[in-house]
Chains A and B, each alone.
Chain A
Amino acid sequence: MSAARDVTDATFAAEVLNNDKTVMVDFWAPWCGPCRAVSPILDAIAEAHADKLDIVKVNVDEYPDLAAEYNILNIPAMKVFKGGVVVKTVVGAKPRPALEQDLAEFLG
Chain B
Amino acid sequence: MRDLVIIGSGPAGYTAAIYGARADLKPLVIASSVAMGGDLMTTTDVDNFPGFPEGVMGPDLMMGMQAQAERFGAELLFDDATKLELSGPVKRITVGNGDVIEAKTVVLSMGSEYRKLGLEDETRLSGFGVSWCATCDGAFFRNRAVAVIGGGDSAMEEATFLTRFAETVYIVHRSDQFRASAAMLSRAKADPKIQFITGAVVDGILGAETVAGISLTNTDGSTRVLDIEGLFIAIGSDPRTSLVADQVELTPEGNIAVAGRSSVTSIPGVFAAGDIIDPTYRQAVVAAGSGAVAALDAQHYLESNTH
Interface residues of A (CB under 8 A from B): 29, 31-35, 37-38, 40-41, 60, 67, 71-77, 89, 91-97
Contact A95–B34 (Cβ < 8 Å):
yes
Kindly provide the distance from the CB of B132 to the nearest chain A CB, expressed in whole angstroms. Answer: 9
- Chain A's closest residue to B127 (CB) is A91
Kindly provide the distance from the CB of A92 to the nearest chain B CB, expressed in whole angstroms. Answer: 6
Against A, the Cβ 8 Å flags (1 = close, 0 = not) of B117-142 are 00000000011110101011101110
Residues of A within 8 A of B135 (CB): 31-33
Residues of B within 8 A of A95 (CB): 32-34, 79-80, 96
Contact A93–B129 (Cβ < 8 Å):
no
Say what secondary structure dominates the interface of chain B: loop
Q: A93-B35, A95-B34 are in contact. Are A33 and B137 (CB under 8 A)?
A: no
Contact A89–B127 (Cβ < 8 Å):
yes
Residues of A within 8 A of B13 (CB): none
From B133, B140, B210, residue with most partner A Cβ within 10 Å = B140
Residues of A within 8 A of B279 (CB): none
Is B59 located at the chain interface by the 8 A CB criterion? yes
Residues of B within 8 A of A74 (CB): 126-129, 131, 133, 136-137, 140
Contact B96–A73 (Cβ < 8 Å):
no
Is B27 located at the chain interface by the 8 A CB criterion? no
Contact B137–A37 (Cβ < 8 Å):
no
Contact A33–B127 (Cβ < 8 Å):
no
Q: A33-B41, A97-B96 are in contact. Are A73 and B230 (CB under 8 A)?
A: yes
Is B111 located at the chain interface by the 8 A CB criterion? no
Tell me, in angstroms, the Cα distance from A6 to B141 when the chains sit together: 24
User: Which residues of chain B in 77-105 are interfacial with respect to chain A, using CB atoms and an 8 Å cutoff?
Assistant: 78-80, 96
Apart from A73-B210, A74-B136, A75-B137, 13 more pairs, CB < 8 Å: A33-B37, A33-B59, A33-B136, A34-B35, A34-B136, A60-B140, A71-B210, A73-B131, A73-B140, A74-B140, A75-B140, A77-B127, A91-B126
Tell me, in angstroms, the Cα distance from A91 to B131 when the chains sit together: 10
* Contacting residue for A34 out of B133, B140, B211, CB 8 A: B133
Q: A73-B140, A74-B137, A96-B96 are in contact. Are A34 and B34 (CB under 8 A)?
A: yes
Q: List 9 A-B contacts (CB under 8 A).
A: A29-B139, A31-B135, A33-B135, A40-B78, A41-B34, A74-B127, A91-B126, A95-B79, A96-B33
Is B195 located at the chain interface by the 8 A CB criterion? no
From B79, B96, B139, residue with most partner A Cβ within 10 Å = B139
Residues of B within 8 A of A92 (CB): 126-127
Is B198 located at the chain interface by the 8 A CB criterion? no
- Chain B's closest residue to A95 (CB) is B33
Contact A37–B34 (Cβ < 8 Å):
yes
Against A, the Cβ 8 Å flags (1 = close, 0 = not) of B1-45 are 000000000000000000000000000000011111100011000
Residues of A within 8 A of B230 (CB): 73
Contact A41–B33 (Cβ < 8 Å):
yes
Q: A73-B210, A74-B127, A74-B131 are in contact. Are A93 and B137 (CB under 8 A)?
A: no
Residues of A within 8 A of B126 (CB): 74, 91-92
Contact B35–A37 (Cβ < 8 Å):
yes
Residues of A within 8 A of B80 (CB): 95
From A38, A74, A76, residue with most partner B Cβ within 10 Å = A74
Tell me, in angstroms, the Cα distance from A77 to B141 when the chains sit together: 15
Q: A33-B41, A34-B42, A91-B127 are in contact. Are A73 and B33 (CB under 8 A)?
A: no
